[in-house]
Structure 1
Amino acid sequence: MSILDKFAPLGQSYAQLRELGADPFAVTFDSMRSPVEATIDGRPVLVFGSNNYLGLTFDPRMVESGIEALRTYGAGTTGSRIANGTYLGHTSLEHKLAEFFGRRSAMVFTTGYQANLAMISTLAGRDDVLLLDADSHASIYDGSRLSAAQVIRFRHNDPDDLARRLRRLEGQPGDRLIVVEGIYSMLGDRARMAEIAQVKRETGATLLVDEAHSLGVLGANGRGAAEEAGVEDDADFVVGTFSKSLGGIGGFCVSNLPDFDILRVCCRPYMFTASLPPSVVATVQRGLERMVEQPELRQTLHRNAHRLYDGLSAAGFILGPEPGPIVSVRLPDVAVAATFWTALLQEGVYVNLALPPATPDSHPLLRTSVTAAHTDAQVDRAIATLTKIGAALGVLETNNG
């Protein structure tokens, strides 16, 4: 007997996936030639499987900022901010984030996953209740597991169900913390922020919005779904990540609550994790500046998203509910999805293979991500390649009558 025996069923599923020719965990990029072009096994590949929404990963000013900070401060901090001190760049980035969101305070975390883990597990205590959208990201669920609070799931993007569940809690002690995402990471649909904010106001709950996939994507200034819906004042906490539109890594939380900074000495994932290297901080701060300076990147992203979504929809694919930077193709079963994904890679198009139970309705997905850096020709090539393979596999609605 081995302690790893409990994972045997998962190992069998993984082996079956490899037998179908698909091993998304083994894909290695030999090089990145641009934000949307790479080489895999010596072959050129178009990348439609990153979250590099604004295409900033190769921005020259961002790269140079990172190099300068690397030379000035070294490779890393080698410890947490509590133990090893805060570097000037950390506080500078927090001030810039607070200013960008129009908030009083900001905290920077080492990853976006850690930001959700820290905030949710710290804010919701033993007598409190967490209300999570059923399609929440793994980091949200993991944060809830670390919390001592009662956890209630409400139906995906259903403010009425949220309201019903909150009403059932009337008279019970403790705070209520609602957690939603601006854009959901699997199907790319937006939260119904205006209605959710109304429920929050009517019930006196607290609202945390994870704008990981909507930062730089939604809103007049790119602040996310709450800005787009005009309900920023209702978002008591905004969590996000630097690993998508800002092209780096790390996470953050901003808030207007006056006692927010007390969280620095009670958020265990913040206190006991090494802080971001100064080179990453410098790169992200310059990325934030670029996002503000170039709103046309957001416009190009949306144009490309509509082009991809409309093209795949016209071809007969079953897609998520609306166009956006995440365009997911729904497939009937894992075998078809694995075969499709492998064929795409052989044709030089890289996308994400998303499998149950990580997908919302237990159907596998080919999850494509479009960026501001994709050209019309590249988007059209992706549409044509997907359509050719989809027709051969018989998964287009037009093929199914």
Structure 2
Amino acid sequence: MSETVTESRDLFSKFDEIIAVRENLLASGVEDPFSLVMEKVLSPTRAICNGRDTILLGTYNYMGMTFDPDVIEAGKEALEQFGSGTTGSRVLNGTYRGHREVEDALKEFYGMDHAMVFSTGYQANLGIISTIAGKEDYIVLDIDSHASIWDGCKMGDAQIVPFKHNDIEALEKRLKRIPEGAGKLVVLEGVYSMLGDIAPLKEMIKVAKDNGAMVLVDEAHSMGFIGEHGRGVAEAQGVLDQVDFVIGTFSKSVGTVGGFCVSNHPKFEIMRLVCRPYVFTASLPPSVVHTAATSIRKLMHAGNKRAHLWENSKVLHKGLMDLGFKLGTSEPQSAIIAVIMPDLERGAAMWEALLHEGLYVNLARPPATPAGMTLLRCSLCAEHTAEQVQTIIGMFERAGKAVGII
């Protein structure tokens, strides 16, 4: 009897469509937008990219803390005193003095009772969401939520209920359909990273509380510069005291790497024993947590930098609108300005033209972007000078005309 051998399906076949898009893009002669190399970083706003002196407008380094002398010195001292890494989880040997110090800095920054630091911002969302909302609970979230939020929902096995982006009425309708007595978590973002638009948190949090839900707000893209003290959109809209959990990251305004959650919930500390992405991950290196703590404490007194960053955002937004570019928001709402491209091919051509001008921005494409859009995403920095912003506007004008976008 002969055996029939069935050929196994190629496990990579699910990616064939994406592979084809990438191959077609590269075949057109465009530089690979996702393989940019920074050979040397000169400052928070300049680097040598693919051999060119380039203005950086796509780094999320909102407050320009990566080259702050005090931040760098704190990292050097920690590296010398504590070594290069902890080689352990926070619940074993991975809690050093610096980990406590950065959590203390976060509690002071937000005025909250508890702070828990993760090795990345992605893990902060993954860990907190998956742990607090389980199989019998419901998570109601904005359809444009970050991938880490969606993955946290999936990992926790809660019932997922998405609603239309920034739609208060849709949020309320979803909440009212949830069975009485069920655990409910509403997940929102302060600033949505693709278009740079902000959430109507004041109205949404009221709806959530009126319907018995807890609220988690991801302030990754607003911490440091939005709000009087840089605490984010919830602070700016006067509702920070009504938020149960604030998620954030060190890889944006803080200028290093890591994630965190702050909360006033009286039972929050149990999370250190039950949150798997926290318990089973090696803790951040001492040099990282010391740089983060120093940066966070300096951000408490960064009012002048916040004001300059807002001015940069207003000037660039108006300059690009006046040139005829289609932007993600009608008014500047954050440090992110999204320039909407007609399609991926012309978006990639525009990205390359800007790179040849000496400007780096992010090329963002589906499925990461909402509504199938191709975007050139600009993220401003408090260290960009007024002269650099005018230079950037000129670069966009020349590249846009060369590619036929404007």
Answer yes or no: same fold by TM over 0.5.
Answer: yes
Q: Distance in 1 between matches of 2:322 and 2:210?
A: 42
Write out aligned runs for 1:260-271 (5 A).
260-271=268-279
Of 217, 231, 234 in structure 2, the residue corresponding to residue 223 of structure 1 is 231
- What is the CA RMSD across the aligned residues, in angstroms? 1.1
Identify the residue that residue 71 of structure 1 maps to in structure 2: 80
Alpha-carbon offset, residue 182 of structure 1 = 0.6
Q: Distance in 2 between matches of 1:167 and 1:320?
A: 31
CA contact (8 A) 1:114 1:139 kept: yes
Is structure 2 residue 402 aligned with structure 1 residue 392? yes
TM-score normalised according to structure 1 size: 0.96
Instruction: Identify unmatched segments of 5+ residues in structure 2.
Output: 1-8
Q: Distance in 2 between matches of 1:236 and 1:215?
A: 16
Is structure 2 residue 100 aligned with structure 1 residue 91? yes
- SS of match in other structure, 2:188: strand
Of 340, 350, 362 in structure 1, the residue corresponding to residue 372 of structure 2 is 362
Alpha-carbon offset, residue 294 of structure 1 = 2.2
Of 335, 345, 348 in structure 1, the residue corresponding to residue 355 of structure 2 is 345
Identify the residue that residue 330 of structure 1 maps to in structure 2: 340
Identify the residue that residue 157 of structure 1 maps to in structure 2: 166
Identify the residue that residue 399 of structure 1 maps to in structure 2: none
Q: Could you tell me which amino acid in structure 1 is paired with residue 95 of structure 2? A: T
Q: Distance in 2 between matches of 1:348 and 1:4?
A: 36
Write out aligned runs for 1:99-138 (5 A).
99-138=108-147
Q: Could you tell me which amino acid in structure 1 is paired with residue 316 of structure 2? A: L
Q: Could you tell me which amino acid in structure 2 is paired with residue 148 of structure 1? A: D
- SS of match in other structure, 1:157: coil
Write out aligned runs for 1:177-188 (5 A).
177-188=185-196
Write out aligned runs for 1:192-207 (5 A).
192-207=200-215
Q: Could you tell me which amino acid in structure 1 is paired with residue 129 of structure 2? A: I
Deviations 1:80-102 (A, max 9, x none): 11232411111111112112211
Is structure 2 residue 297 aligned with structure 1 residue 297? no
**Segments of 4+ moved more than 6 angstroms:** none
Identify the residue that residue 3 of structure 2 maps to in structure 1: none
CA contact (8 A) 1:182 1:213 kept: yes
Instruction: Identify unmatched segments of 5+ residues in structure 1.
Output: 397-401
Q: Distance in 2 between matches of 1:90 and 1:258?
A: 21
Alpha-carbon offset, residue 375 of structure 1 = 0.8
CA contact (8 A) 1:120 1:140 kept: yes
Identity of aligned residues (%): 49
Kindly tell me the number of residue pairs found equivalent between the two proteins.
395
Alpha-carbon offset, residue 78 of structure 1 = 1.0
Deviations 1:294-347 (A, max 9, x none): 211111110001111010011111101131210010011111101111111111
Q: Distance in 1 between matches of 2:244 and 2:81?
A: 36
Alpha-carbon offset, residue 170 of structure 1 = 4.4
Q: Distance in 1 between matches of 2:144 and 2:358?
A: 31
Identify the residue that residue 274 of structure 1 maps to in structure 2: 282
- SS of match in other structure, 1:384: helix
TM-score normalised according to structure 2 size: 0.95
Is structure 2 residue 48 aligned with structure 1 residue 39? yes
